[in-house]
Each structure stands twice: as C-alpha cells, then as structure tokens.
Amino acid sequence: MRHLKRRGLTLIELMVALAIGAMLMLAAAPHFAEFVSNSRLREAGNVLYTQALYAQSEALKRNGTVRLGIDGSTVTVTDVGGNTTLRTVTLSGSVAASEAKTISFNGRGMIAADASIDLGLPDQTCSADLRCPGLRVEGGGAIRLCGDNTGTC
C-alpha cells in the first residue's frame, strides 16, 4: 500500500508565518503615517496649483483682475471687477496655509510681484521626511508647485 504525501502547511508553520508578518507590519507602521501625511500635503498642493491656474486663466478670459486667496484651508478665486466668487475649495486632510495670502492676476495673467504660498500640517514641522509643498508665482505669470517650501524649486 502506497502512502500519499500530505501537502500544505501545518498549524505551527502557519502561526510562525503570521507572527513574522505581524512583526514586519509593526516595524513599518511609523513610516506609513509619514507616507499618509506626505500624500495629504501633495494632494493639497496639487489642488492649490490647479486653483492658481484657474485664477490666471479666468483673468485672461475676463481681461480683468482675478484674485486667488487662501485663508487656513479655504482657497477662494474671486473676480475683483464683478465682485463675484468664482470658486471656493477646501483643502482636505487638515492641510492649511502657513498664513493667509492673496495673489491678484491682471488681465494679462501676470502679478505685480513674485508671490508664494506655503502649506503645512498643524503640530508638525516640515523636514526632509515631511515635505510641505509651496506654490511660487513669478511676476511674469509663471506658476510652479515646489516639492518643499524651502523657497527654491
């Protein structure tokens, strides 16, 4: 009579594999929180960048002054001539601007002087690990989203 080999894992082998997996997950948990924070900041930076492009294009389209304003986590695009709010967006994930700022685009899509808006998370300091984005707008109208708010892109 032939004996068939048993296939599969024993209960002990399965428990050892689960224990090793749990230890690896615990080791990665602090980095996961940092990853989530960086993702929130990156998303908010992209939203701010998109709103700046929208404000600039509306200024060109209307041939008038359009203002991009941020106060905390609320981004507002306003037509100054018509005194009309064109768009209001709230940044998600508790991301907020470091200070309230406004940038006004004229009818040619330019601004009077270079401007910047820096984003961050409350109770967290920006560092090489926590990259807080910054929006840079040059007088000629060039808009850039920097990976961190060090002032250089």
User: Residues 148-152: what's their mean pLDDT?
Assistant: 63
Give the integer Cα–Cα distance in Å for 76 and 94: 17
pLDDT higher than threshold 90 for residue 79: yes
Cross-strand partners of 134: 118, 146
Helix then strand then coil, % of the chain, to nearest 5? 35, 25, 40
Residue 1 lies in a domain: no
Q: Considering its fold, how many domains does the chain have in total?
A: 1
pLDDT at 49: 95
Residue 24 lies in a domain: yes
Confidence of residue 1 (pLDDT cuts 50, 70, 90): low
pTM attached to this predicted model = 0.80
**What residue type is assigned to position 115 of the chain?**
A
CATH number at residue 100: 3.55.40.10
Segment 61-76, tens digit of pLDDT: 999 999 999 999 999 9
Residue 28 lies in a domain: yes
Residue 137 lies in a domain: yes
Residue 115 lies in a domain: yes
Confidence of residue 4 (pLDDT cuts 50, 70, 90): low
Residue 4 lies in a domain: no
Segment 80-104, tens digit of pLDDT: 988 899 999 999 888 999 889 999 9
Side-chain half-sphere CA neighbours of 94 within 13 A: 7
Terminal CA-to-CA distance of the chain, rounded, Å? 76
